[in-house]
Structure 1
Amino acid sequence: MMAVSRADTSTLGRWWWTIDRWTLAALLALVGFGYVMMLAASPAVAERIGASSRNMFFARQIVYLAAASAVMVAVSMLNVRQVRLLGWVGLVGSLAMVAATLVIGAEIKGARRWLNLPGLGSIQPSEFLKPCFAIVAAWLIAEGKLNRRWLATLFAVVLFVGIAALLKGQPDIGMLMVISAVFFAQFFVAGLNLFFVGIVGAMGVGAAVLAYMIFPHVQSRVQRFLDPAAGDNYQVSVALEAFGNGGLLGRGPGEGRIKNVLPDAHADFVYAVAGEEFGLVICLLILALFAFIVVRGLIRLLGETDLFVVLASAGLLTQFGLQAFVNMASSLHLIPTKGMTLPFVSYGGSSVLAIALGMGMLLALTRRRLSRLEEER
């Protein structure tokens, strides 16, 4: 435990005594699981694809997770005004890069979601769009509700429509679904009339049906979920076998066999590797950490009077919890498969850094603010 005096008025001292240390500890615990799971799953994947080193993915993830931890702590030191400014800057930058993917993006499996940057490798800009849009949308909705500035609310809707068009163009339907869920969750928290809630729900169902009819890959995933004989369900079948092999306590670290044949063992299906090597107990512990972060964050908002903070935090928590749910539920064949990482645990540079940015914003927004002056509005 870090030893900092309550009388310490430095930036670090104020940060330590106002931050939600339990949430920070839970997030760092997930980072720790990320290191363990990369060590367990990635060498087999690197060997199977003929990489120059068995530890290639693990070495990269060490850097990604270390950078993510630094980003999360640094962003958590910001005040509310600075978080809002960072959200705007990040939104403009990520929107520009998402638009660039449609023109110069690297095409992988028929989708243009990545940019190849010199010296940095590939980056998925839409990952950074999620937390930044949650911040900006929260401010616009709060402005529209508190100050009756309907143009601010309209601008939020226009922004959402523009982002939806860009993501459809890539296409990245999974990312669009997450951003849509976050956006409408924020409207709901802001007090959206139940009549409009019903309309939004109907629109969501309609959009899902439309996506099923328009996009062949969405149709294929749904059909394979409903009828395993309708197509290739290899990864899901192998993942379920991994959970069965692990049982209650797992086969033991390094003793898993499924990771040798599971293509995305280090990424989308890392939860299955955890199930085989460490068993149901560790899988439930990982699940409990995600649930703890989301529930504790929502509880801390109960006494919050700043609508912007409530909406922004609710959006970030929805995004974080939904992404974790989609990954784990896909691995367990509870929903159709979707290529979405398990926050801090799966391999990935853009994803890990974007999640760290969002969680850093959440920690900053939920810090105890002792006075209006301290908020520096």
Structure 2
Amino acid sequence: MTKVLKNIKGDRVIWAIVALLALFSFLPVYSASSNLAYLYGDGNTFVFLIKHFAHLLLGFGIMYWVHKIPYHYFKGLSIIMLPVVVVLLLFTMAQNNTIGGANASRWIRLPFVGVTFQTSTLAAVVLMAYVARYLSKIKDKKISFKESLIPLWLPVFIILMLILPANFSTAAIIFSMVIMLVFLGGYPLRHITVILGTGLLALTFFILTAKAFPDAFPNRVDTWVSRAENFFNDKDTPEDYQIERAKIAIARGGVMGKGPGKSVQRNFLPQSSSDFIYAIIIEEWGLVGGVFLMFLYLMLLFRLVIVAHKSSDVFGKLLVIGVGLPIVFQALINMAVAVELFPVTGQTLPLVSSGGTSIWMTCMAIGMVLSISSSREAMIKEEQSDFDNTKESDVNPKEENPLEVLSEAI
């Protein structure tokens, strides 16, 4: 264990924030999983706690392993992994899974281990790394829209169209993050406007197609429309059940909360240990706990900006933004949904909600950020070592050997 701690590199504050989020997650997950224990098990919530611990343990293992990889390798890895994730997304879509009659083709079951894996989360990390690589490659070059169409935008739209039918919110977040990244990467604004218009047209075409052929995409478009209408209208409908229960949980929490494990709404709120865990946290820990959790994510954002600013090259800066910022963005969306500032999206709270894939991919992204940070630290140490050696040679010049001086004179 001591050897592992000595080998931990990168931004120590980010390590601390991730550790705090992971430690904080145990009590809410243990408390909120009680309804799942009675619905799908024998009432033993300890099993869900062990499962969450295993997910976090594997996630930290991934983060440690990834942060030891020199970040320049992620350029080539993003190119290699891009076709892999496309195949995984095609395989996931081909399963045509449904839950309650609705399209739920988001997961694949890993052979031999029996664990489900959400392929869209892996695709998001790989795609952001790929876009960062391309933008760093064309930096300070004049690239026309036609020249960037195939190498940049074709992979983006292929992945988005494979994710969209089953998971609109994830596709929308990925598209938003790609647009933000290309904007920060210096991609021409007029070209970004064209892409935004194209994306809007593609979404409209998909919705019209789904309406015309409802059997092709069961209930997904209806779900999107229903959630949007419920958010903008004040009418009470059965679809409002989740958000109403979440608001009741938040109202009961008050300033200091009811105490750990004393939530009542966990027994009535669906997805209380994943999508709506923030409401359970406020009910048990109050406004103080909710603000503290938000503060941790904002601190993570602050450290991401610092790491990006200190990165020695363009690829490092863009990679930190591309894989790091979506974590904070997703967290803020999850919180906004719980307090009804945003329509229901189904996004989890990174590193806090239960769920293996979300934890693993978040840890992978943070590991990439730490790799960039550790490379900066190694560079500083190397420069300091060179400076110290130069200074020592100036202070203590090498003494000349008389025999060598004589031989040179002869």
Per the shorter chain, which TM-score range?
A: 0.7 to 0.9
Superposition map of 1:147-158 within 5 A: 151=147, 154-158=150-154
Q: 1:148 to 1:238 in 2, by over 3 A?
A: same
Determine if the alignment matches structure 1 residue 346 to structure 2 residue 357: no
**Paired residue secondary structure (1:249):** coil
1:100 to 66, 71, 91: 91
2:121 to 127, 135, 144: 127
**Paired residue secondary structure (1:252):** coil
Report deviation, 1:346: 0.6
TM-score, length basis structure 2 = 0.81
Unmatched tracts of structure 2, length 5 or more = 211-220, 383-410
131-140 or 80-89: bigger deviation: 80-89
Contact 2:28–2:260 under 8 Å retained in 1 = no
1:25 to 16, 19, 37: 16
Identity of aligned residues (%): 24
118-127 or 322-331: bigger deviation: 118-127
Report deviation, 1:201: 5.2
Q: 1:102 to 1:244 in 2, by over 3 A?
A: same
Report deviation, 1:225: 0.5
The equivalent residue for 2:223 is 217
Contact 1:61–1:348 under 8 Å retained in 2 = yes
TM-score, length basis structure 1 = 0.88
Contact 2:281–2:290 under 8 Å retained in 1 = yes
Report deviation, 1:116: 2.0
Contact 1:84–1:136 under 8 Å retained in 2 = yes
The equivalent residue for 2:288 is 281
**Paired residue secondary structure (1:366):** helix
Q: Deviations over 1:64-83 (max 9, x none)?
A: 01111111121111112233
1:182 to 177, 183, 190: 177
The equivalent residue for 1:160 is 156
Number of aligned residue pairs: give it. Answer: 364
Superposition map of 1:191-230 within 5 A: 191-200=186-195, 215-229=221-235
Contact 2:307–2:372 under 8 Å retained in 1 = no
**Paired residue secondary structure (2:72):** helix
Report deviation, 1:358: 1.0
Determine if the alignment matches structure 1 residue 113 to structure 2 residue 106: yes
Unmatched tracts of structure 1, length 5 or more = 5-10
Report deviation, 1:117: 2.5
**Paired residue secondary structure (1:275):** helix
Q: 1:112 to 1:36 in 2, by over 3 A?
A: same
The equivalent residue for 1:45 is 36
Rg comparison, structure with higher value: 2
For 2:276, the aligned partner's letter is F
Contact 1:222–1:336 under 8 Å retained in 2 = yes
The 1-side partners of 2:187 and 2:236 are apart by: 40
Q: 1:239 to 1:186 in 2, by over 3 A?
A: same
1:173 to 161, 168, 171: 168
Contact 2:263–2:280 under 8 Å retained in 1 = yes
For 1:104, the aligned partner's letter is Q
Report deviation, 1:355: 1.0
Report deviation, 1:50: 4.3
